[in-house]
Chain A
Amino acid sequence: MEKDKNLPVQQVNQVANFDFFNPTHFDTMQRVCKMFASSELVPDMYRASSENPVDKAMANCMIAVEMAQRIGASPLMIMQNMIIIYGRPSWSSKFLVATVNTCGRFNPLQYKITNLGMLGKIDYTEYEWNKDAKKKLPVKKEFDGTKVENLQCIAYTTAKGSEEVLESAPIDIKLAVQEGWYTKAGSKWQTMTRQMLMYRAASFWTNAYAPELSMGMKTEDEIRDIIDIPYEDVSEKVTKEKAENANKTVINIDGDRPNAQQSTPETKDPMNAEKKSGKGNGELFPNGQTDTGNQQKPKGPNF
C-alpha cells in the first residue's frame, strides 16, 4: 500500500537499545567501553590508569554510554559533562541547556532578567550541624541586602510548532538568599549573579517541562547549592495538631477578667531587660491565680 506522504509523522524519541541482561549486548558494550577506557580523550574517571583500575573505568564508561544512548547524545559529550559532586552524578548546566536546545522539541531557551529593586533585609534559613540531634537543623539568620539588587530571571521558550510560551518559575536573588545559595561559602551567586540566575532558571525550566532530558539528575551547581535534608512528611502531624487544638479556647476582648496590664517601657523594654520565666509580672490568669514568676509558662491560654 502506498504511504500517504501528507500524513503527520509522530516524532519518536530514540529509546535505549542496549540491554544489560542480553549477553551479546553486554559483550559488545564491554568492548566499546574498553576502547573508551583506553582513550586519552575521556576524563579521568573513565580512563584506565594506575589510580583508576580498568574494571572501574569500564563500569563508568558503560553507564555513560548507556545514558548517551538513552538521550541520544554522544558518549564523549556525556563523559565530559557528567560530573560527580558529593558522590552523586550531575550535569553541567551548559550541557543541560545544550540538551534542551538540541533535542528537537523546543526552540532554544531564552532568558528574561528583571530588576525588582533593592533586596532589603531578608530572613533565611541555614542548616547547621546540631551535635545533640546528630543531624543538620534549620537556623534562622538575617541577610542585609540593602545594597544588593534583587534580579529576577525567567527561562522561557516555545515548543516547536506551538506558540505557547513555556516559562520557568521565576528565580530571583531573594529566593537565592532564602534558600541559602547566595550566602554559602565560595558561592558563585555573589560574583557571577546573572550567569547563576540563568543556569538555575534553566534547571527549573527543564524540571518542569522536560525532566526526561536531565534523567532526574540535578545540575552541578544545584547539587553544590541545595542540601538534601531527610524529608519528613508533616501533613499527618499538622492535621492531628489542628484537630486537637484549633479554634478551641474562646477569648473575648470585652471580658471583665483582670487580665490586662498596660505595657510600660520600664518593665517591658526587652532591649534592656531579660525576660523572666513564665509571665513573671504578677499578672492574673483567668482563674484568678497570680503567677509567681518561677513557674514554667503555662501551656494553656493566658486569658
Chain B
Amino acid sequence: MELTVLGSSSAGNSYVLQNDTEALVIECGVSIKEVKKAVDFNISKIVGAIVSHEHGDHAGYIDEFLKARIQVYASYGTVKAAKVSYNNLPILYLESGCKTRIGNFTVLPFDVKHDAAEPLGFLIKHNETGNILFVTDSYYIPYAFTGMNNILIECNYRTDILERNIAAGKIPTKMRDRLLESHMSFETCKEALLANDLSKVNNIVLIHLSDGNSNAAEFKRDIHRATGKNVHVADKGLKIPFNKTPF
C-alpha cells in the first residue's frame, strides 16, 4: 500500500491510500483531477472517499467526487452542513462508533473536537496497512488506540510560534482562540502519540501544518526524538510506502 498526499493545509486536504487494485481517498479537499492523476487515471479502483467534516478545505470538492461516481462517506452533520448540490448519488452516512466496510478497508469513525457540525476521525484497517489512525482538525483526541501500525495526525501549530506571531501583529488575537479550540498543537500531538502504544507503529505522518505557525523541520525532528519512529511531514506530493512493516 502507498500513501499519497494531495494536499495537507488550509488550501486543501486529501490523502490517497492505494495499491494496484484499490484506493481509498481520505478527504475531498482537492479537485478530482488531482485524485485522478494520483491513481494514474484508474478511477474505477477508488472504493470510496471518507470526509472528516464539512469545511471547504476538507469537503469542498464532494460534488466533483459524486459526479465521478465515487462513493463518499461522511457524518450526517457533515453532509447537512456541506451543502452538497449533486444528489444523484447519495452520500453514505458514517457514525461515531459504527464500523463500515469500504472495499477491503474497514473504517471505524470516532468523534473529534473541532468547530464543525459532526467532525470525525478514523481508524482504518486493511490487510496491507494494518491499523491506521487518521486525525485532523481536532484540538485533542478523546480516545486512545490499540494496535496501531500507521498514524496520520494533525500537528498544526506550536504555541511559542503562535504567540510570537500574535505579539508581532501578524495574526489577530481572535484567531488564537479559534486555533486553540479547533486545531491540534504540536504539544498536544506529542502527548497524544506518547499516550498510545507505538510499539507496532511503522510511520507517523504529521498533517495539516499551519503555514505561519509551524516549523516542519523541528516538528519532524522532535516527534522522531520523542517516539523513535519514522516521521514524515505531509507535504503536497509526498508518496510513501504505508504498510504494516517497513519491509
Residues of A within 8 A of B (CB): 120-123, 140, 142, 169, 179, 204, 207-208, 211, 226, 229, 231-235, 238, 241-242, 245-254, 259-265, 268-272, 275, 279, 283, 301-303
Contact = CB atoms under 8 A, between A and B. Distances in A.
A301 B125 CA distance: 20
B173 interface: yes
B181 to A, nearest CB: 6
B191 interface: yes
Given A260-B98, A261-B98, A270-B91, A250 B171 contact: no
Contacts of B81: 140
B97 A252 contact: no
Interface of B: 54-56, 60, 73, 76, 79-81, 83-84, 87, 90-101, 106, 108, 110-111, 115, 123, 125, 131, 139-147, 168-174, 177, 180-181, 188, 191-192, 195-196, 212
Contacts of A262: 100-101
**What are the 10 closest A-B residue pairs judged by CB atoms, nearest first?**
A302-B97, A268-B93, A260-B99, A247-B195, A207-B169, A269-B90, A246-B140, A270-B76, A169-B170, A253-B123
Given A234-B177, A238-B180, A242-B140, A252 B191 contact: no
B170 A247 contact: no
B94 A263 contact: yes
A232 B54 CA distance: 26
A204 B55 CA distance: 27
Given A238-B181, A247-B141, A301 B91 contact: no
A208 B170 contact: yes
Given A169-B212, A231-B174, A251-B145, A245 B140 contact: yes
B93 A263 contact: yes
B143 A248 contact: yes
A248 B84 CA distance: 35
Contacts of B145: 250-252
Main secondary structure of the interface of A (DSSP, over half): loop
A250 B146 contact: yes
25 contacts: A123-B55, A140-B81, A142-B56, A204-B170, A208-B170, A211-B169, A232-B177, A238-B180, A242-B140, A247-B191, A248-B142, A252-B145, A253-B123, A260-B100, A263-B98, A270-B76, A270-B80, A270-B93, A271-B79, A271-B91, A275-B76, A279-B95, A283-B97, A301-B111, A302-B98
B147 A246 contact: no
Contact of B56 (A122, A229, A259): A122
B55 A249 contact: no
B92 A268 contact: yes
Nearest to A259: B97
A272 B92 CA distance: 11
Given A234-B181, A247-B192, A253-B99, 9 more contacts: A140-B81, A142-B56, A232-B177, A247-B141, A247-B195, A251-B108, A253-B106, A261-B99, A263-B95
